[in-house]
Chains A and B, each alone.
Chain A
């Protein structure tokens, strides 16, 4: 069957070509970063790690009280809008002044909010770190939410969400979060137009006063820094930030699913079905974290994964099959997915489920597990070699209150896993029996392939239930 290229046959005649892969050289030193933790009098935790790979500095300021759940009943979506407008003006700087100052220090500064926090990511040339910290501090403490900026953000957010509703990626993710997390705050993706329009400048100022507080925040700084000097700069910039009362955590029940169900978002004209299949899994601190992470690597979380070998390299159904384990403070989700041409929607569902059930019923091979361990530990080192990679890793330690030795313990924790561990967590959390099946596609084109897999609830792109 195989056709060798003629030219290459010639090439191999006269020269020896090594037939087996060369083995590794002697292990190189890991150079794990030295991490220093300090605390300001106002309660702000400051974590510093030198990584002088380029003359830049990268910082993450995490506000742990400002989550999508914060003030959710009165003002749904307020954390998201506050994050998007906070850098559009402070008591002493206009939006334009902030952007121009960033430009002059080779800087970036942006905020975003998610299920567990609001984060400010910022960077600049290291020679201008003092000015970067001053700007970050100003935006965290004194966002002024100018009337014109709030109004513009409201209008533009509404339009951006409308634009997003044309995109199958946006729709499949939104419906999946709602299917898996139900009424839990983790189901939030974007606010509705009414909630956005109702927000006022005063709501936003009150929100920030209450939730952007240093005693529920941490600042991670990585880069070309001198720890003592950089800490002094940070102390100067942030010590005037007044601490507040940490709001009580909202702690609604973690959802569970009681049946398999199809959530179909009808997008007439689609030439592909966007498929997400998944379920509730574990919170970040659960002891099964490393086992699920590794099961995910073997299933669909790496390129050489079972799902990719099956529905891409063998069957040619899709370009980018994937799976992902997302663990948050109070719960988490596991999802497997693919975008496939309409004609193979049903066969793809069959194979995704087959591969999930295979992980649950049979142990993975030693070869697969060993490869997954190498993949995880090697790529972990690669991640730590970049400033934001390292800062992001440290950030999760503080956001999720993990063991401070997480980075050093990563390798032994991964290496200690057995094939039985993988099968046990797959059986428990790759829960196909109660799975949410989310599909964005053209219902008329694919309905006969979809209905054998479960009951269907149908939605339009705006999220309304459609009666069929």
Chain B
């Protein structure tokens, strides 16, 4: 699992609205070239040239994440991601990694709520190698019982190292989602229960591959120091003859509206300090409230100038840290289903979760009554633009955003106009969004406190 920087908007900006004299400064608009088309088998292809460094990203995004894994098989989408490195007709187990690294690149995969991606960064003259490797496993994945068992053991260790042997056990993701959502597709543990990870069979692997890993359920993205016309020919050669499959059934991801606050108390065997996580249901991405809500999240909790950080850590000295965001693993664009705004904070011994919640609520009440300042909103937009540039700085980051826009919106050209809805947000809309969504009945709160521990005997 990999964390992505929260991203946001593009260039151009609302500079005319800014009251403090930045209006003389002209932001340089980014103009990212995008070529987008579909092969007859349904594969979406995105190519973006960029010649600043001799580097290319080759990425494949499949339209399946852990929301769609089968019941009784929690963690399967992620286990399957590991299977994709276990060999295909012409590439032996783990040789995908060998080929990429021995050609000067690096490679990995990641499973998320609504997608699974596979990517390699390579010297740009090795672009065809990346295409061949991705085409071979899309066409002809080849998994043995032995390799499945091996990766079930590896993934079990991944869950132990990142969840079960850790203080807090990822509660701000796994527990929060289990409690905040009612539809199993959204609520279940996407990292997986060990017993269910280990119960998976070769038949499960075959069926999942056939259903979801077809060209018509994927995006292929190439970003970097390449020639579009040459790459198009290579794509044709390696991908055009991979047969398409019937479109996979879309699971029902709808959530009933939450009507009362959920509060959960937990104890932790390993942690030394108490911690708190909150999740508020967000409006869908196509809601007119969404851009205002995204900026409100920024104002509340992005960085140490944010309202909640200032209140909790600096003014009231109640907590040690503050983390979270609009999409726990990604950004505003790389998911499709229902989402919650996540916040996590470690608080100081001697205090209670109620004290922390009271202060968080006081900040919300201030916004719902007085709104945010024009300066705060303008700064939030500048920060968004800066974060956006940081995301598209690397060929991977640019490929990620292009892939998400192709996968979920069928329109990667939007990368050059992503800002527009956000730059138009007004302070009044932010205030209204706070009043509408940041209400107790729309949230889940988990308080996680250390279990009482015996003192170890010491000596020297």
Minimum CB–CB distance from B355 to chain A (whole Å) comes to 16
Q: Is B458 a contact partner of A464 (Cβ separation < 8 A)?
A: yes
Q: Is A17 a contact partner of B90 (Cβ separation < 8 A)?
A: yes
Q: Is A100 a contact partner of B140 (Cβ separation < 8 A)?
A: no
Q: Is A18 a contact partner of B320 (Cβ separation < 8 A)?
A: no
Tell me the complex Cα distance, A408–B398, Å: 27
Binary contact readout B110-154 vs A (1 if CB under 8 angstroms, 0 otherwise): 000000000001111111110111001001111111100111111
Q: Is A304 a contact partner of B459 (Cβ separation < 8 A)?
A: no
Chain B residue nearest to A149 in the complex (CB) = B314
Chain B residue nearest to A128 in the complex (CB) = B25
Q: Is A339 a contact partner of B320 (Cβ separation < 8 A)?
A: no
- Is B105 in contact with chain A by the CB < 8 A criterion? yes
Contact partners of B55 in chain A: CB under 8 A? 381-382, 385
- Is A350 in contact with chain B by the CB < 8 A criterion? no
Tell me the complex Cα distance, A20–B87, Å: 14
Q: Is chain A's binding surface mostly helix, strand, loop or mixed?
A: mixed
Tell me the complex Cα distance, A374–B97, Å: 13
**Stretch binding the partner chain, chosen from A36-44, A287-295, A310-318:** A310-318
Binary contact readout A439-468 vs B (1 if CB under 8 angstroms, 0 otherwise): 000000000000000000000111011110
Q: Is B394 a contact partner of A386 (Cβ separation < 8 A)?
A: yes
Q: Is B393 a contact partner of A386 (Cβ separation < 8 A)?
A: yes
Of A54, A384, A462, most B-chain CB atoms within 10 Å: A54
Tell me the complex Cα distance, A102–B28, Å: 19
Q: Is A54 a contact partner of B393 (Cβ separation < 8 A)?
A: yes
Mark out the residues of chain A between 22 and 59 whose CB falls within 8 Å of any chain B CB in the assembled complex.
Answer: 22, 24-31, 51-56
Partner of A127, one of B26, B54, B136: B26
Q: Is B161 a contact partner of A272 (Cβ separation < 8 A)?
A: yes
Q: Is A319 a contact partner of B155 (Cβ separation < 8 A)?
A: yes
Q: Is A385 a contact partner of B52 (Cβ separation < 8 A)?
A: yes
Contact partners of A374 in chain B: CB under 8 A? 101-104
- Known A106-B385, A319-B157; judge A385-B458 contact (CB<8 A): no
Q: Is A269 a contact partner of B456 (Cβ separation < 8 A)?
A: no
- Is A410 in contact with chain B by the CB < 8 A criterion? no
Mark out the residues of chain A between 114 and 136 whose CB falls within 8 Å of any chain B CB in the assembled complex.
Answer: 123-128
- Known A127-B25, A127-B27, A377-B104; judge A55-B389 contact (CB<8 A): yes
Minimum CB–CB distance from B294 to chain A (whole Å) comes to 16
Tell me the complex Cα distance, A319–B157, Å: 5
Q: Is B123 a contact partner of A381 (Cβ separation < 8 A)?
A: yes
Q: Is A26 a contact partner of B125 (Cβ separation < 8 A)?
A: yes
Minimum CB–CB distance from B366 to chain A (whole Å) comes to 16
Binary contact readout B259-287 vs A (1 if CB under 8 angstroms, 0 otherwise): 00000000001111100000000000000
Q: Is B104 a contact partner of A28 (Cβ separation < 8 A)?
A: no
- Known A55-B28, A106-B386, A341-B160; judge A159-B320 contact (CB<8 A): yes
Tell me the complex Cα distance, A363–B22, Å: 62
Contact partners of A155 in chain B: CB under 8 A? 317, 348
- Is A198 in contact with chain B by the CB < 8 A criterion? no
Contact partners of B210 in chain A: CB under 8 A? 5, 7
Q: Is B389 a contact partner of A18 (Cβ separation < 8 A)?
A: no
Tell me the complex Cα distance, A127–B375, Å: 18
Contact partners of B98 in chain A: CB under 8 A? 304, 371
Minimum CB–CB distance from A302 to chain B (whole Å) comes to 5
Q: Is A107 a contact partner of B386 (Cβ separation < 8 A)?
A: yes
- Is B184 in contact with chain A by the CB < 8 A criterion? no
Q: Is A375 a contact partner of B389 (Cβ separation < 8 A)?
A: no
Q: Is A17 a contact partner of B165 (Cβ separation < 8 A)?
A: no
Mark out the residues of chain A between 365 and 395 whose CB falls within 8 Å of any chain B CB in the assembled complex.
Answer: 370-371, 374-375, 377-379, 381-382, 384-387
- Known A54-B393, A385-B52; judge A313-B104 contact (CB<8 A): no
Chain B residue nearest to A309 in the complex (CB) = B94
- Known A266-B456, A272-B165; judge A379-B386 contact (CB<8 A): no
Q: Is B157 a contact partner of A272 (Cβ separation < 8 A)?
A: yes
- Is B329 in contact with chain A by the CB < 8 A criterion? no
A-B CB pair tally, cutoff 8 Å: 297
- Is B229 in contact with chain A by the CB < 8 A criterion? no
- Is A324 in contact with chain B by the CB < 8 A criterion? no
Chain B residue nearest to A54 in the complex (CB) = B389
Contact partners of B25 in chain A: CB under 8 A? 127-128
Minimum CB–CB distance from B269 to chain A (whole Å) comes to 5
Q: Is B90 a contact partner of A106 (Cβ separation < 8 A)?
A: no
Contact partners of A11 in chain B: CB under 8 A? 139-140, 241-243
Binary contact readout A311-336 vs B (1 if CB under 8 angstroms, 0 otherwise): 01110111110000000000000000
Partner of A5, one of B156, B206, B321: B206
Tell me the complex Cα distance, A163–B448, Å: 13
Tell me the complex Cα distance, A25–B386, Å: 35
Tell me the complex Cα distance, A462–B136, Å: 51
Chain A residue nearest to B388 in the complex (CB) = A54
- Is A105 in contact with chain B by the CB < 8 A criterion? yes
- Known A55-B389, A302-B101, A304-B94; judge A8-B456 contact (CB<8 A): no
- Is A303 in contact with chain B by the CB < 8 A criterion? yes
Contact partners of A17 in chain B: CB under 8 A? 89-90, 136, 139-140, 241
Q: Is B460 a contact partner of A464 (Cβ separation < 8 A)?
A: yes
Q: Is A125 a contact partner of B129 (Cβ separation < 8 A)?
A: no
Tell me the complex Cα distance, A166–B50, Å: 45
Partner of A371, one of B102, B132, B238: B102
Chain B residue nearest to A10 in the complex (CB) = B243
- Is B426 in contact with chain A by the CB < 8 A criterion? no
Q: Is B314 a contact partner of A269 (Cβ separation < 8 A)?
A: no
- Is A412 in contact with chain B by the CB < 8 A criterion? no
Chain B residue nearest to A313 in the complex (CB) = B94
- Is B437 in contact with chain A by the CB < 8 A criterion? no
Tell me the complex Cα distance, A397–B149, Å: 46
- Is A256 in contact with chain B by the CB < 8 A criterion? no
Binary contact readout B360-386 vs A (1 if CB under 8 angstroms, 0 otherwise): 000000000000000100111011011
Partner of B93, one of A28, A272, A313: A313
Tell me the complex Cα distance, A30–B378, Å: 39
Contact partners of B150 in chain A: CB under 8 A? 313-314, 316
Tell me the complex Cα distance, A10–B206, Å: 14
- Is B457 in contact with chain A by the CB < 8 A criterion? yes
Q: Is A466 a contact partner of B144 (Cβ separation < 8 A)?
A: no
Minimum CB–CB distance from B381 to chain A (whole Å) comes to 9
Q: Is B386 a contact partner of A5 (Cβ separation < 8 A)?
A: no
Minimum CB–CB distance from A94 to chain B (whole Å) comes to 10
Q: Is B348 a contact partner of A159 (Cβ separation < 8 A)?
A: yes
Q: Is A385 a contact partner of B394 (Cβ separation < 8 A)?
A: yes
- Known A8-B140, A11-B140, A12-B140; judge A163-B273 contact (CB<8 A): yes
Would you mind naming 27 contact pairs between A and B with Cβ atoms under 8 Å apart? A5-B142, A12-B89, A16-B241, A17-B89, A17-B136, A17-B241, A22-B129, A28-B54, A55-B28, A56-B393, A99-B305, A103-B380, A106-B386, A106-B387, A127-B26, A162-B273, A166-B272, A271-B160, A303-B97, A313-B154, A316-B154, A339-B161, A371-B98, A382-B53, A382-B121, A385-B53, A460-B458
Q: Rank and list the top 9 A-B pairs by shortest CB-CB distance, nearest first.
A: A378-B104, A106-B386, A316-B153, A385-B53, A99-B305, A371-B102, A15-B241, A319-B158, A166-B167
